[in-house]
Chains A and B, each alone.
Chain A
Amino acid sequence: MIDNLLLGFQVALSWDTLMFCFIGVSIGMFIGVLPGVGPLAAISLLLPLTYYIAATDALIMLAGIYYGAQYGGSVASILLRLPGTASSAVVCMDGYEMTKNGRAGAALFLSAVASFVGGSIGILLMAGFAPALAAFALRFGSQEYFLLMALGLIAASTLSEGSATRGLAMVVLGVLLGIVGLDTTSGTMRFVYGQFELMDGISLVASAMGLFGLSEILSNIGRSERTRPMHKVTLRSMIPTRTEMRDSWPAIWRGSAIGSFFGALPGTGSTIASFFSYATEKKVARNRARIGQGIVEGVAGPEAANNAAAQTAFIPTLTLGVPGDAVMALLLGAMIVHGVNPGPQMLTNTPEMFWGLVASFWLGNLILLVFNIPMIGLWVSMLRISYRLLYPAILVLVVIGTYSIRYSVFDIYQLLAFGFLGYILRLLDFPAAPLVLGLVLGPLMEENFRRSLMLSDGDFTTFLTRPISAVLFACIVLVLLAQVVAPLLRLWRGKTHDVRNDTHQ
């Protein structure tokens, strides 16, 4: 592996290649900051230009856009509660609360560090175990996907603070919105009402931006006193305190592990990874009692997770030739156009390409970290612009960004509808995060459940008889038990002292 990595760095450290890596990650970060404009748009725009440069350089640059966007995505989420990418919707929750508490700089700093560590761990796993991880991912069939999604929904059903009924109701609403469109299994249109634009389902980016970003603007300008912070930006406020760092590390490790796993599974990815990480932090973080009120674990965990996932997502693409999402499909197309043939033979046929990419990923992450830290001051100082002037500009950015996803005015109306829904949900005290989670996981859960039974000819034991599915099933039972037993336990212990105040502040 050392020899291979040396070969990789030999490729990635040449001046030209390094420059293309730099260009790629910079564009990616820029794109990520812009709400709605995702790596898909940027990569497809640059794709034709790359025909004129060497294959390795081209792919290093395009891949840089992909993972660079993950870094940028959190900036608008933390500062403005505006998720630039679907995967950064999670960071809105505690990240924006940290901003309100005057810790915007610290949140951005932690997010950059967590992203770097998560990305690096994903890359290490890719370097050491890519074929093994790919083989492991192939053991996940429809049954396992269904159970995994069910586990996620159950574990996260109490994703945010407040009444469990409200959280669960929002999960269900999210699942319902998630199944709008053409039903994969039966070819039936559901909730489409003759709108072709709805056939592909609700737009994840438009809904996340509407529910978080637009509804935030709607609530803010409705009130005389703003919920928006106006703290002085000092160097001190930009660096996390020792306690914040100490609390973040375990979340970063957990997030990295969760992200690496979901990235390697085709069909899941950064968005699902960051939600699973957040759900985990809700259960195990040191400050879990205050989750949703701006704790560092709620930023560090999901950020590490979505960056780790962005790296390990290359594993199925490179070692199986099967892309896990639309952006990966585009990158795979780029490789094929450049005459690179991803698949099981890639490691033996074109090792310099594989290891060059791996090495460049790490260099790209390093560049992103080094360039992100000094940017924090600039980002935070944006908060000093008067909100009066800022919000019309943000509104235009959000609307244009949504339109540019697929050049559809219909999507602007989706954004509007979700913004209004988000506003209503706030008034009625419903949390928005479980809705987005349901939207992401719901359709996958239904599709895989029905497919599992088609494959087993209607035999329900199919969910128990496969080794991994049995383990997942046991996990679900455990989580369910914990959710029933823990409150009972608390009730019993509550007699002696109040556990809620027991948790570390």
Chain B
Amino acid sequence: MQNRLIAALTSRSGLGAMLLFAAAAVTFSEVSRLRLGTPASMGPGYFPALLGGLFVLFGVMLLAEGWRNPGQRVNFGRLRPVIYLLGAIILFGMLYPVLGGGIAIAVLVTVSAMAEPGRSWQEIALLVVTVIVMIWVIFVLALGLQLTMLPPWIRT
């Protein structure tokens, strides 16, 4: 019984239910500071409160599904590439305003390329150069978007 409960909670549907309960918690914590109003004259909190209720409802339904099929497990795959890719984007967001597009793109390409093992540095360098040139040609040269490619100390 207890094993089945744990299996149900950690099954694909069970974890899905957790996600929905988390969404419900976020929703209700925000709703608590909003005015509710009445159906005929809804305040800003009324609609989100309804959504929060629906999250709970669907969460319970998914839990029941998990109870019935505790065997459906989540295949998490390998975490390394996901962390590398997301990290690469965060690095870009932090570096771009400070160092400009050229360096930030180089970092983005390098880190994301490293998500897959077994690359030579020549391959990565070639990728970096190609992508920077491509971005410069498309976004700066052709479209004239407001992208600063050079780092600040070279700019002026």
Q: Are A and B in contact, CB atoms below 8 Å, in the complex?
A: yes
Q: How far is the CB of A128 from chain B (nearest CB, A)?
A: 37
Contacts of B23 in A (CB 8 A): 173, 176
**Known A392-B109, A427-B77, A428-B15; further 7 A-B contacts with Cβ < 8 A:** A165-B58, A185-B44, A191-B26, A223-B77, A396-B131, A409-B96, A428-B16
Contacts of A427 in B (CB 8 A): 12, 74-77
Say whether B12 contacts A428, CB under 8 Å. yes
* Residue from the list A183, A218, A222, A393 in contact with B131, Cβ < 8 A: A393
Say whether A400 contacts B115, CB under 8 Å. no
Q: Given A396-B109, A404-B147, does the pair A222, B12 have CB atoms closer than 8 Å?
A: no
Say whether B65 contacts A165, CB under 8 Å. yes
Asked if B138 is at the interface of the complex by the 8 Å CB criterion, the answer is yes
Q: Which of A45, A222, A423 has the most CB of B within 10 A?
A: A222
- Considering only CB atoms, which chain A residue lies closest to B11 in the complex? A428
Asked if B151 is at the interface of the complex by the 8 Å CB criterion, the answer is no
- Bitwise, B55-76 to A at CB < 8 A (1) or not (0) is 1001101100100000000111
Q: Which of B34-70 contact A (CB under 8 A)?
A: 34-35, 39-44, 47-48, 51, 54-55, 58-59, 61-62, 65
Asked if B89 is at the interface of the complex by the 8 Å CB criterion, the answer is yes
Say whether B93 contacts A190, CB under 8 Å. no
Contacts of A50 in B (CB 8 A): none
Q: Closest 5 interchain pairs by CB?
A: A458-B40, A188-B44, A222-B77, A169-B58, A428-B16
A175 to B85, CA, bound (A): 28
Asked if A179 is at the interface of the complex by the 8 Å CB criterion, the answer is yes
Asked if A63 is at the interface of the complex by the 8 Å CB criterion, the answer is no
Say whether A41 contacts B145, CB under 8 Å. yes
Q: Which of A67-75, A239-247, A267-275, A412-420 contacts B (4 or more CB under 8 A)?
A: A412-420
Say whether A190 contacts B30, CB under 8 Å. yes
Contacts of A415 in B (CB 8 A): 89
Q: Which of B76-92 contact A (CB under 8 A)?
A: 76-79, 81-82, 85-86, 88-90, 92
Per DSSP, are chain A's interface residues mostly helix, strand or loop, or mixed?
helix
A459 to B39, CA, bound (A): 10
Q: Which of A391-423 contact B (CB under 8 A)?
A: 391-393, 395-397, 399-400, 403-404, 407, 409, 412-413, 415-416, 419-420, 423
- Considering only CB atoms, which chain B residue lies closest to A30 in the complex? B142
Q: What is the size, in residues, of chain A's interface with B at 8 Å between Cβ atoms?
A: 62
A315 to B131, CA, bound (A): 41
Q: How far is the CB of B135 from chain A (nearest CB, A)?
A: 6
- Considering only CB atoms, which chain A residue lies closest to B59 in the complex? A169
Say whether A392 contacts B113, CB under 8 Å. yes
Q: Given A391-B112, A392-B131, does the pair A168, B92 have CB atoms closer than 8 Å?
A: no
Say whether A222 contacts B81, CB under 8 Å. yes
Q: Given A169-B20, A460-B40, does the pair A219, B77 have CB atoms closer than 8 Å?
A: yes
Per DSSP, are chain B's interface residues mostly helix, strand or loop, or mixed?
helix
Contacts of A176 in B (CB 8 A): 23, 27, 48, 51
Say whether A168 contacts B58, CB under 8 Å. yes
Q: How far is the CB of B111 from chain A (nearest CB, A)?
A: 9
Contacts of B125 in A (CB 8 A): none
Contacts of A458 in B (CB 8 A): 40-41
Asked if A429 is at the interface of the complex by the 8 Å CB criterion, the answer is yes
Asked if B137 is at the interface of the complex by the 8 Å CB criterion, the answer is no
Contacts of A428 in B (CB 8 A): 12, 15-16, 19, 74
Say whether B47 contacts A404, CB under 8 Å. no
Contacts of A430 in B (CB 8 A): 16, 19
Say whether A412 contacts B40, CB under 8 Å. no
Contacts of A392 in B (CB 8 A): 108-109, 112-113, 127, 131
Q: List 20 A-B contacts (CB under 8 A).
A: A37-B139, A45-B143, A45-B145, A166-B16, A172-B51, A176-B48, A179-B48, A186-B35, A190-B44, A218-B81, A223-B77, A392-B127, A395-B109, A395-B112, A400-B147, A412-B89, A428-B19, A446-B47, A453-B42, A454-B41
- Considering only CB atoms, which chain A residue lies closest to B44 in the complex? A188
Q: Which of A157-174 contact B (CB under 8 A)?
A: 163, 165-166, 168-169, 172-173
Asked if A295 is at the interface of the complex by the 8 Å CB criterion, the answer is no
- Considering only CB atoms, which chain B residue lies closest to A407 in the complex? B146
A458 to B42, CA, bound (A): 10
Say whether A166 contacts B62, CB under 8 Å. yes
Q: How far is the CB of B50 from chain A (nearest CB, A)?
A: 9
Q: Given A165-B61, A412-B92, A458-B40, does the pair A400, B82 have CB atoms closer than 8 Å?
A: no
A41 to B101, CA, bound (A): 19
Say whether B139 contacts A404, CB under 8 Å. yes
Q: How far is the CB of A246 from chain B (nearest CB, A)?
A: 38
Contacts of A198 in B (CB 8 A): none
Say whether A190 contacts B34, CB under 8 Å. yes
Say whether A221 contacts B85, CB under 8 Å. yes
A217 to B15, CA, bound (A): 23
